[in-house]
Amino acid sequence: MAEFRVVASIPVAPSPERVLARPGSQELYVVSGTGTISVVAFPELRVVKTLRVGRGARDLAFAPDGRRAFVVDPTESQIVFLDCEAGKELARVRVGASLSGLALTPDGKTLVAAARAANRLFFVSVESRKTLGSVEVGRGPGPMVILPDSSKVFVADTEEEKISAADVRTQKLLSHIEIGTRPSALVLKPDAGEVFVLSAQGSNLTILDAFHDNVEQTFPAGREPVAGVFRRDSSVLYVAHAGDGSVMALDVPNRALLVSASVGTEPRALALTPDERFLVVADSAASSLAVLRADPASLSTGRSPLVTTIPVGARPVDVAVPGWLRKR
């Protein structure tokens, strides 16, 4: 990222879907749909461990200290507990339904698993490794966000035009929030006051009050918004649109569009550099990364924020920036 060029191409297991930086370490976990996790060390940029989950793997989550990880084995309806230090499996918890997603409460105590076919959320204790309960939500529960105090989970009911909210402690449904379009992704504002709902089908953005469970506002977005990321101070939300090859920056306090920039063909994932100077966007169809200026001052000038595009491997699907400026 200092010179905007590819320095390595690292062979991992087939069909990689997610790449995440493990907290408190210099490791990246690459989750493959074929059921394998490839652990890549940096700055060495090589695979140092391979963890076999099963015939499938999805939605890995790390404990806050990075010592444990949890991943869904959808083929066996299980949550797999991993010891990241030893690089081995600790336990498996079967929940009785095919799982499609996983989230960990910020306090590290409770796993929330979505079962799309069963229209339910399951709650599993990290300490006891037992199911605490479940709750029926809307049809096709998918992406989830959990409030920082670990009290409430919001889930996108992807086969209906609504969001469901559930109490983590009691495993009870709190509300169904009608949004008028099918949700496809959720982004929690860092101050936790609002949930931003992306609808790829409706090409719009809906803002929810996270405390009162109601709709505040709906905005038109670009075609097929699929992913978003906030600045740490909640001032700007960046959204990737897979349908028209653009990225927009939204001035969140003023609910105003700062800029909409063409970055390629089909952007599907994005991440800010640690100092938030640049936004890195993975373009699946163009097989490239786009690098954009991200600071609000530069976005308001009217100039295109696009700095460069970097050719990478075929169909990139995720991006992580654990550290980027090389020491000289």
Residue spans of the domains in the chain: they are 221-328
- How much is the mean pLDDT over the chain? 94
pLDDT at 79: 97
Give start and end residues of each alpha helix (H) in the chain. 296-299
Whole-angstrom distance between the N-terminal and C-terminal Cα of the chain? Answer: 14
Contact present, 184 and 226 (Cβ < 8 Å):
yes
pTM summary value: 0.95
What whole-number distance in Å separates Cα of residue 68 and Cα of residue 59? 14
Q: What's the CA dihedral at 322, 323, 324, 325 to 10 degrees?
A: 170
DSSP bridge partners of 120: 115, 136
Q: Tell me the residue type at 129.
A: R
Give the residue from 265, 295, 258 showing the smallest Cα distance to 282.
265
| pLDDT band for position 93 (cuts 50, 70, 90) | very high
Give the residue from 156, 150, 186 showing the smallest Cα distance to 168.
150
Q: What's the CA dihedral at 150, 62, 64, 81 to 10 degrees?
A: 90
Contact present, 12 and 29 (Cβ < 8 Å):
no
For residue 326, pLDDT beyond 60: no
pLDDT (average), residues 200-226:
95
For residue 327, pLDDT beyond 80: no
The CATH code that applies to domain 221-328 is 2.120.10.30
| Beta-carbon contacts of residue 270 (< 8 Å; ≥ 6 apart) | 227, 228, 229, 238, 240, 247, 279, 280, 281, 282, 319
* Higher per-residue pLDDT: 29 or 100: 29
| pLDDT band for position 322 (cuts 50, 70, 90) | confident
| pLDDT band for position 324 (cuts 50, 70, 90) | low
Indicate the range of 45-49, 130-134, 215-219, 319-323 predicted with least confidence: 319-323
| pLDDT band for position 325 (cuts 50, 70, 90) | very low
pLDDT at 166: 98
